[in-house]
Amino acid sequence: MGFVEDELQEIKAMVEKHITGSKLEACIPAMVRVNIRRTKFKQLIVCLQFPKNYPAANILVELKSRHISQKLLDGLANLSEKEAKKILGKPQILHVLKFVRNFIDENPLCCCSEEISELKQKIARPSDEIKLKQKTSSILVITMEGEYSCKYNITVPEDYPDTRVSLTEVSSSYPPVVRRWLLAQAQELARQCVEPPTRCRPGAPPFVVKPSLLPVVKFLLEAVHSIPAAVCGVCCRTCLPPHPQDVPSSEDDPLSVERVYCGHFYHHACLDTYIKTPPFAGGKTCHSCSLKIYHDKWKLSPALVEARWAHKQARQRELDEAIDFFA
């Protein structure tokens, strides 16, 4: 038998035993095709073709995948051919397949390569840093706006995207109110990617799991870049001081920042005065978006606020009358 036939026999006998998660789909002189799967998104098809003067020339490699970006696949195919060139004159297919499988194992972030390239090319600003840490299957996002900066660590689980990304704050110069909101909102966005809503609209298409990395990082970057410019709905000045070291240490400081339910920001004192002074009819609405204002610290019904206002006014009148009397 010829060299190629011998190698094909060897491949038929050995591939599925020696390459974890592999399935031999074609094994003929015209082409060898192997599906290598670690998880649903860490899966690719390796197509190998013998050149005319094989094995003096390297085997030709083509890679296909539904979830791994074409740019990464092209790069990996290139590297695979270079690997084959190291053993010219010998059977090369098993060597190449082992190389590809090894690459998937050592680069767990390949399952979100499409999202990472979109992030880097379309969403991140020049000052944003997105560092890949393949060893821990995580991504470090470092972003700054003015004097404010944030660093988040985002972990991509093995069975991504079926399981959502998880995130931790490494550091942040924003006040605690903002930091808590950023984390909670990012986690909620990730959750919505993998869990169906509790109440489905009738006629809505069935829920499908979506990759959660891109929505989470996109939200974080956009929020971090926009918050320093956010203005108080009442006084129209920026809610945060230009320098993080000037952020009030107490959350009840008049100038500390408050975030209402709709997502807009106010100074603590501005919001307090706005909620507690008339007009009360119809409840208080956000100056920025007209949605009803809701905040944990001000859980007052319009009737109660109005009663308190009236009471305060009455006391003030009594006080004024007393002052007039003694004047």
- Site for Zn ion contains 190 (CB under 5 A): no
Residue 267: CB minimum distance to Zn ion, A: 3
Stretch that binds Zn ion, among 81-89, 164-172, 233-241, 274-282 (CB under 5 A): 233-241
Bridge partners of residue 132, in order along the sequence: 139
Query: Which pair of structure tokens corresponds to residue 28?
Result: 């003929």
Contact pattern from residue 118 through residue 157 relative to Zn ion, giving x for each residue in contact according to CB under 5 A and a dash for the rest: ----------------------------------------
DSSP tag of 120: I
Element (H, E) at 266: strand 265-267
- Site for Zn ion contains 286 (CB under 5 A): yes
Cis before 279? omega within 30: yes
Q: What is the CA radius of gyration of the chain?
A: 30
Residue 257: CB minimum distance to Zn ion, A: 9
- Cβ proximity to Zn ion, 150 vs 257, nearer residue: 257
Query: Which pair of structure tokens corresponds to residue 82?
Result: 């270079």
CA 203/CA 18 separation, integer angstroms? 48
- Site for Zn ion contains 232 (CB under 5 A): yes
Q: Please say whether the beta carbons of 148 and 244 come within 8 A.
A: yes
Residues in contact with Zn ion, total (CB under 5 A)? 10
- Site for Zn ion contains 288 (CB under 5 A): yes
- Cβ proximity to Zn ion, 267 vs 284, nearer residue: 267
Residue 133: CB minimum distance to Zn ion, A: 37
Q: Please say whether the beta carbons of 58 and 81 come within 8 A.
A: yes
3-state SS assignment for residue 39:
coil
Stretch that binds Zn ion, among 9-17, 63-71, 79-87, 262-270 (CB under 5 A): 262-270
Q: Of residues 235, 238, 244, 300, which one binds Zn ion by CB under 5 A?
A: 235
Q: Please say whether the beta carbons of 60 and 48 come within 8 A.
A: yes
Residues found near Zn ion in the complex (CB under 5 A): 232, 234-235, 262, 264, 267, 270, 286, 288-289
